[in-house]
Amino acid sequence: MEAIEYKCPNCAADLKFDPESQKLSCEFCLSAFTEEELRALKESAGEKVPDEAELQTRQEFEEHTNLYQCASCGAQIMCDDRQTALFCYYCHNPVILSGKMTGEYKPSRLIAFKLNKDRALDTFRNWVKNRSFVPDDFRSEQQLDKITGLYVPFWVADCDIRADFSAIGKTIRSWTSGDYSYTETKEYRVVRRGMITANGIPADGESKIDDLLMESIEPFNYNELQPFSMTYLTGFFADKYDVDKTQVFPRIKTRASQAGKKIIRDSIGAYNTLSVNIEQYNIMKTDWEYMMLPVWFMTYNYNGTVYEFAINGQTGKLAGTPPLDKQKLRMFCTALGIGITAALYLLGGVFF
């Protein structure tokens, strides 16, 4: 009899039978499925055969995309062969041409830049305007010139999440009568079960860029996704992913669970206390898409720390950590302390 081997629908690792849960579980991403669920998923998936147009785009990508590598930080940058990348977007050191791209790095779709460089810089200037204690050269034109239009590789997942929630909710009402205070407590068993669908949860495939930074400029409007074409790369750079979908799955799982939790918690009424007995969010199915999303990216090296800034190239949402010139802040606070001391001393002469 032929043994059937099942692959994890989420991360493609081998599934093993877990006697305790009586399910086939993935040791890598900790997903668990019954055999029936796996069969149903396999039947619904089907095999996708690339069409001719897809093959042509893939060939065009391989022929016209140059790959550059930064000798300093190792970042790999793609751009079309009509332009030359000179500096690394991350560490601003020179990059060298290292070859052509292979078709597996061609994204299926992308969102084109809507925000041009001037508008991106205006957004940045407005953000930094009210931050008085950043280092002086942080606002300099030389620094602003480092902003780079970058297509960041993203793994975008559509997930079906099975939610299982059970808790004891309590409502409490108090009143007084005569010399006594009364408290009435009512207990309810709160149960929520169901399937939650989250579409388009993104996770960037670049290990250099901070994950939280990319999450902070979300969301992107997927209605503006376009099939990939080399045309969109002109004038911009694209990053080659170095984190595959298997590696980003734990992040997707965490975010999908957070999304599921929000839906479940929002469906629960106003209890005074809630004691949770069971709260599980299992991802039953994940559909992946590899795409590129537009980001204006800038780094600033200050006192040995690299500060990263990103602006959503579609919506203009900005995220980053403002660098703090502690010397400047110390001087200001010292002056403020002296001023308050002197003012109070002089006022003291009037009032005391």
Q: Under the criterion CB under 8 A, does residue 295 sit at the interface with another protein? A: no
Residue from 28, 30, 200, 316 in contact with another protein (CB under 8 A): 200
Q: Under the criterion CB under 8 A, does residue 273 sit at the interface with another protein? A: no
Cα distance between residue 61 and residue 227, in whole Å? 13
Strand 273-302 relative to strand 148-177, pairing? antiparallel
Q: Under the criterion CB under 8 A, does residue 125 sit at the interface with another protein? A: no
Residues 40-79 that bind another protein (CB under 8 A): none
Q: Under the criterion CB under 8 A, does residue 116 sit at the interface with another protein? A: no
Main-chain phi, psi angles of 40, to 5 degrees: -60, -40
Cα distance between residue 108 and residue 244, in whole Å? 15
Residue from 169, 205, 294, 313 in contact with another protein (CB under 8 A): 169
Outline where DSSP puts E strands in the chain.
15-18, 23-26, 32-33, 65-70, 76-80, 95-100, 109-111, 148-177, 180-204, 225-227, 237-239, 273-302, 305-312, 318-320
Report the residue number, 97 or 342, with the smaller CB distance to another protein: 342
Report the residue number, 97 or 195, with the smaller CB distance to another protein: 195
Residues 310-329 that bind another protein (CB under 8 A): 319-324, 326, 329
Report the residue number, 43 or 175, with the smaller CB distance to another protein: 175
Question: Helix-strand-coil percent breakdown of the chain, rounded to 5?
Answer: 30, 40, 30
Q: Under the criterion CB under 8 A, does residue 351 sit at the interface with another protein? A: no
Cα distance between residue 38 and residue 18, in whole Å? 15
Cα distance between residue 239 and residue 232, in whole Å? 14
Residue from 59, 188, 226, 287 in contact with another protein (CB under 8 A): 188
Cα distance between residue 303 and residue 324, in whole Å? 10
Residue from 263, 289, 302, 315 in contact with another protein (CB under 8 A): 263
Residue from 67, 95, 128, 196 in contact with another protein (CB under 8 A): 196
**What minimum distance in Å lies between the beta carbon of 240 and another protein?**
24
Piece in contact with another protein (CB under 8 A), picked from 62-70, 77-85, 110-118, 251-259: 251-259
Tokens of 208: 């250099």
Piece in contact with another protein (CB under 8 A), picked from 11-19, 208-216, 229-237, 296-304: 208-216
DSSP 295: E
Q: Under the criterion CB under 8 A, does residue 304 sit at the interface with another protein? A: no
Q: Under the criterion CB under 8 A, does residue 333 sit at the interface with another protein? A: yes
Cα distance between residue 3 and residue 207, in whole Å? 38
Residue from 75, 77, 79, 259 in contact with another protein (CB under 8 A): 259
Cα distance between residue 6 and residue 156, in whole Å? 23
Q: How many residues bind another protein (CB under 8 A)?
A: 74
Residue from 131, 224, 278, 327 in contact with another protein (CB under 8 A): 131
Cα distance between residue 73 and residue 145, in whole Å? 20
Task: Mention every residue, 6+ apart, whose C-beta is less than 8 A from residue 235.
Answer: 83, 149
Piece in contact with another protein (CB under 8 A), picked from 64-72, 242-250, 291-299, 338-346: 338-346
**What minimum distance in Å lies between the beta carbon of 332 and another protein?**
6
**What minimum distance in Å lies between the beta carbon of 10 and another protein?**
16
